Structure 1
Amino acid sequence: MRVLIAGASGFIGTALVGRLTDEGHDVLRLVRRRAESADEVTWSPAAGIIDFTVMDRVDAVVNLSGASLSHLPWTKGYRAEILASRVTATRTLADAMRKARTPPAVFLSGSAVGYYGDRPGELLAETSPAGTGTLADVVQKWESAAKLAPHATRTVTFRTGLVIGDGGAMRTVGMLTRFGVSARLGTGGQHWPWIALDDEVGAIVHLLDSDLSGPVNLVGPTPATADRVLGALAERMRRPYALAVPERVLGLVLGQAADELLLASQKVSSQHLVDDGFAFEHESVESALDAMLSRPVPVR
């Protein structure tokens, strides 16, 4: 397939480009500067600018654009950027597809488990209603923008959890653990929906050739609490895990981000993806952490 990727230089995007290239697919990358090679296409998502004719030349579009959620604290201005960076990029892609003479067959648009909000005690599937909070509001508007794609284009909004790999939020978590200051966050019993980087990328590739449409949860098959994730990482890095940070302290330091990123409990099911034939490489968070730590640290 010929696949157009927005956000190709990011944490997930870089791994996805490598996987697609290894499997013989042709990748085009959207860049926010002057294109420097035949596999780059310039766009300006904030301004809604893109050469829509590129959509006539690709089979699929993967949208990974969006400001990082792990950039803290969430000031009022940054909360606006979190929303705008996702909605404008997604709308720009969808608008370009609608203008194409032969729009791509598949549109895979990134989304997040933040859709569900804080839901302790519930098993959350794609049919579960939206929760409340900043992220739930962002995700609903983000997914609504993806629905603007042409009816002929199969559209999937994949709701990703915490990606276990050398990047994103895990880079910060790993650094804190390495310096021996990893700590239980609140009670530690809140469920953190996680997925190994290998499986995140593998699931996206799987969805390119699937019949699924609409929301699909991209989370590991075995639920894990925050305590299990952080404790297992500290154990593997041979660092202490004896500190505890009360919820009120997290709230004072990080504000709303603490409630929605660190303290929210989301026991999210991946059964929809499994029923579609996807096989996870890493079924436990411990396996995902082992894979992360076994890789050489990239030179930056």
Structure 2
Amino acid sequence: MNCTVLGCGRWGSFLASFHSRKNHVTLWGRKGSESFETLRNTRKNDYLTLPDTVTLCDDLGKALAASDTIIISISAQHLREFAERINGYPVAGKTFILCMKGLEEATGQRLSCVMKESITQAIKVAVWVGPGHVQDFLAGIPNCMVVDSEERGLTEEIVSGFQNELLRLYIGTDLIGTEIGAAAKNVMGIAAGMLDGKGLSSMKGALMARGAREIARLIAAMGGNELSAYGLCHLGDYEATLFSPHSHNRKFGEAVVKGEPYTKLAEGAPTVKALLRLGHEHGVELPICETVNSILYENASADEAFGKLFSRSTKEEFYL
């Protein structure tokens, strides 16, 4: 399955590089950006060397025209603006796969909805999420991920076309749950980093259990299947997000409570605002998300915020 990858960060460059072993791949990056210019000048970044079978391109129109299957791997908060640019080109009938995790901060919308709103042409949209770090894949360590869309046939086609010895792909059947779960796991990653920073790492097991239950309630209230929270999109991604030294969200949370700078992208920071918006709209309490939000945006100390979380009234473990 030939494809175009839009976005040349660590995940986009890995997908382009790995998939190009058997297929033609065009990798697009923004002209002048550090990541793209580094690849253009050296064909290397901090993680890999691009094979000759990857065609680099900074012309969005040409990149879109190069394939009918388009993978997007950029920051979630820039997707609407980017999709509106894409809409200026003839893309009707093309398949867009969102290899990114997040919710639009300003609206709380899922990324597939942002795509459908922003591109007025008839396109197909799928998401590809789940655990896995580029560093591990490049070391030959396999993992499992999930693909989801509103069309079963499209999901199966993508799984069949992209599955390989490193990436075992599963067929998702709950687009709402898959997208909410994938976005929310980044918030749990920030919470885990905060626990690490306060010397409370042993509590990450409890965070996993309560975090998955919190998000399951939200998914169900939004019309999704709450079991998705316990699948690859969310709970299945916890090890890679709550414990891995490669996790940007975990490292960001740890840096915040230690008062240290951190410059890498942590998608969970804007996503927590979107989740609280959704929780309010659907009448679902999200105490862990509220705790993270209070530390990030309300000047609450971690000690104060965690103390408030623990002083909440006791409930049955699996209350609705």
TM-score by length of 1: 0.42
TM-score by length of 2: 0.40
Higher percent of residues as strand: 1
